[in-house]
């Protein structure tokens, strides 16, 4: 994998670790970060060596503290729409990845950072993490999916409160609301993220991809999630992994899945 200006990447045991590397800017999302993140997602999709991805921020203070506001001063209605659409496109690619993506949230996940974390499949938070969508303080609303995904995770009433007050919530509150899956001391953040990823990637890769697709169908307008589940179940039955999984279960041995 090529080197990047704003990202650090490494692949270990099939897990792609991506670190947003703008610690002096609290890992704020600028257009370079988004462009490079989109390139990394290409790698996630296409590299057969990669089984899943963990996304985190550099340093102890922030996962991503928001968008880079210095890029906002020249926005008009047309360029603002293009900026938001670009963020939507990239974050949808993460959400729809056939391979699992875990956000290891190490500190602030605000604005675009909270939106980025919510586009991942699982969120593991350090005990110093804080989540929020404070965009109304700037006279705007979230532009990378925050008004939609926050409602999915914590419900309409609480989402409206956080979106309109710009209040931040700590990791424990995020866990209780269902926004975070786990909260651990910062020193254990990556270890737990890797442990969860290793458990997921030990399962049948095709089945994992279909789980993601079926769950996403529930939130897709015009798509019948139940019908999608039936269709995807049938496709799983037609795979070599299904044959191997049943054989291993009946033979009381560990399955050797090939992703086929």
The catalytic residues are: 115, 135
Task: Using alpha carbons, select from 116, 113, 120, 122 the residue that is nearest to residue 168.
Answer: 113
Q: CA-to-CA distance for 173 and 168, rounded, in angstroms?
A: 10
DSSP string, 213-232: HHHHHHTSTT--HHHHHHHH
**18 three-class SS:** strand
89 contacts 144 by C-beta, under 8 angstroms:
no
Give me the torsion for CA of 152, 28, 13, 10, rounded to 10°: 160
CA nearest neighbour of 94 among 68, 71, 64, 116: 116
Of 75, 93, 110, 108, residue with least CA distance to 34? 93
Q: Between helices 205-218 and 225-237, what is the axis angle to 10°?
A: 170
Q: What residues contact 1, with CB distance under 8 A and at least 6 apart?
A: 9, 11, 40, 43, 47
């Amino acid at each position: 994998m090529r080197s990047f200006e704003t990202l650090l990447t490494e692949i270990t045991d099939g897990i792609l670790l991506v670190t947003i590397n703008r610690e002096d800017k609290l890992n704020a999302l600028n257009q370079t970060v988004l462009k490079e993140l989109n390139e990394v997602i290409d790698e996630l999709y296409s590299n057969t060596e990669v089984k899943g991805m963990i996304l985190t921020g550099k340093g102890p203070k922030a996962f991503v503290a928001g968008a880079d506001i210095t890029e906002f001063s020249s926005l008009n209605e047309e360029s603002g729409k293009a900026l938001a659409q670009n963020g939507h496109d990239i974050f949808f690619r993460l959400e729809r990845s056939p391979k699992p993506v875990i956000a290891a949230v190490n500190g602030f996940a605000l604005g675009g950072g909270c939106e980025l974390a919510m586009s991942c499949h699982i969120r593991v938070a350090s005990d110093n993490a804080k989540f929020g969508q404070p965009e109304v303080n700037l006279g705007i609303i979230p532009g990378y999916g925050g008004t939609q995904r926050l409602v999915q995770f914590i419900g309409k009433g609480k989402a409206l409160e956080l979106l309109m007050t710009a209040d931040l919530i700590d990791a424990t509150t995020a866990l209780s609301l269902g926004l975070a899956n786990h909260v651990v001391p910062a020193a254990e953040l990556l270890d737990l993220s890797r442990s969860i990823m290793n458990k997921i990637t030990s399962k049948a890769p095709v089945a994992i991809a279909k789980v993601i697709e079926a769950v996403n169908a529930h939130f897709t307008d015009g798509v019948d999630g139940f019908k999608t589940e039936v269709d995807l179940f049938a496709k799983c039955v037609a795979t070599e992994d299904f044959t191997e999984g049943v054989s291993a279960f009946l033979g009381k041995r560990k399955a050797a899945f090939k992703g086929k």
